[in-house]
Structure 1
Amino acid sequence: MNDLIIRPATAEDLPAIVAMLADDPLGATRESPEDLTCYREAFALIVADPHQHLVVAERAGRTVGTLQLSVIPGLSRRGATRTVIEAVRIHADERGAGLGTDLIEWAVARSRELGADLVQLTSDRTRTDAHRFYERLGFTGSHLGFKMPLTEKV
């Protein structure tokens, strides 16, 4: 990770984070980088929750990656605590250079530090390159996910 810094996201990082969320075929249809109001509201909720860890990867003062790590205590698996990795994004200029691996390895290490017994993530079924990437890092496809939108946001 030599010149890479992974740190908690700040409100000043929101434009770069949202731009990365919008910079792919799926994100382009569901994100609105031109109006950050709803993102600022969500960011306030995230930073107020000690179980949420929104981070950015920074290189030479530039935000080049992001992910959110959520800690979920549970009863299943004999009271296991799990972490969920969400919204992994790498700036287009940095893709293919190992930054995604650095971010996921950071998330797994942080999960251990937080006492998690299991780390999991989901990936849209159309992201076959991402599936291979996660499998290469040791993740195993295990579940079929379902969603039910409750608002127009999702």
Structure 2
Amino acid sequence: MNAGKSGSLAGIAFREAQADDLPAIVRLLADDALGRERERYAVPLPDTYRVAFESIAGDPNNTLIVAVDGADEIVGVLQLTVIPSLTYQGRSRALIEGVRIAASMRGRGLGREMFGWATGLARERGCRLLQLTTDKRRPDALRFYQSLGFVASHEGMKLELQD
């Protein structure tokens, strides 16, 4: 991976997340109306986040990418998962999940830069297709993804599994 590669935004670098980044990542994930429903940002963090992070970090098909500003503050995050597939003649696909940009950085091009970097990483890993889902209650996110060239070509469905 192109760890530490900078985007064209001044002072922003993209790299693979480290364990010490976890509190900042969870804070970003919880920083909107839907995230507050799903996440639990607390000090200390619930142990489930550490377990999940270790699983992601230990899986070569998963990469948790963070955007870091010049003050070494995490201002963006996304997870890229490469999924081996028999479709498209056995070509892998990449799934983008858990995208968040710090409120102070929205509208400045960081999301576009981060997606460009993640798209390059998916290409390096031989992926034929890049896909994502977005909650229908996030119309701004939908418009953003469409501006990047994503097409709502399929109807997505989810089944929540209770504990």
Q: Deviations over 1:81-138 (max 9, x none)?
A: 1000111100111111111001111111111111111111110111111111111111
Count of matched residue positions in the alignment of Structure 1 and Structure 2: 152
Q: Give the TM-score, by structure 2 length.
A: 0.90
CA distance in 2, matches of 1:139, 1:103: 15
Q: Give the TM-score, by structure 1 length.
A: 0.95
User: Paired residue for 2:40?
Assistant: 32
CA distance in 2, matches of 1:55, 1:131: 21
Gaps of 5+ in 1: none
TM-aligned CA deviation for residue 142 of structure 1: 1.1
One-letter amino acid of the counterpart of residue 48, structure 2 = C
CA distance in 2, matches of 1:75, 1:21: 32
Instruction: Pick the aligned partner of 2:125 from 114, 119, 135.
Output: 114
User: Paired residue for 1:148?
Assistant: 159
CA distance in 1, matches of 2:28, 2:11: 20
Report runs of 4+ in structure 1 exceeding 3 Å deviation: none
Asked if the contact 1:80–1:116 (Cα under 8 Å) also holds between the matched residues in 2, the reply is yes
Aligned-residue Cα RMSD (Å) equals 1.0
TM-aligned CA deviation for residue 77 of structure 1: 2.1
Matched, 1:136 2:147: yes
| Paired residue secondary structure (1:150) | coil
TM-aligned CA deviation for residue 79 of structure 1: 1.2
| Paired residue secondary structure (2:127) | coil
TM-aligned CA deviation for residue 55 of structure 1: 1.1
Gaps of 5+ in 2: 1-7
CA distance in 1, matches of 2:54, 2:108: 32
User: Paired residue for 2:5?
Assistant: none
Matched, 1:9 2:20: no
CA distance in 2, matches of 1:98, 1:119: 20
